[in-house]
Amino acid sequence: MVVCLFAVTASTAPMRVLFLGLNAGQKPINRFELMQPGLAPHGIELSVLTRGKPP
């Protein structure tokens, strides 16, 4: 008889994601507001960083 035991460890630390965007046609704040509520329940912390329009 062979018995195999596997230990799966999950990190309790949340995954952190930085969402970058230009305040041009992409509208990063709007995208952030759509994505953040869906990712938070899965332990993913989403932050946003924006800049002005490109030169």
| pLDDT by 10s per residue, the chain, length 55 | 455 555 555 666 778 888 888 777 778 888 889 989 998 998 888 888 887 665 5
DSSP state of 1: -
Write down the domain spans for the chain.
15-51
* Strand pairing category for 44-51 and 15-22: parallel
**Which residues, including other chains, have CB under 8 Å from residue 21's CB and lie 6 or more apart?**
27, 28, 29, 31, 32, 48, 49, 50, 51
Whole-model pTM? 0.61
Name the nearest CA neighbour of 48 among 24, 26, 34, 28.
Answer: 28
Q: Where are the beta strands (DSSP E) in 1-55?
A: 15-22, 44-51
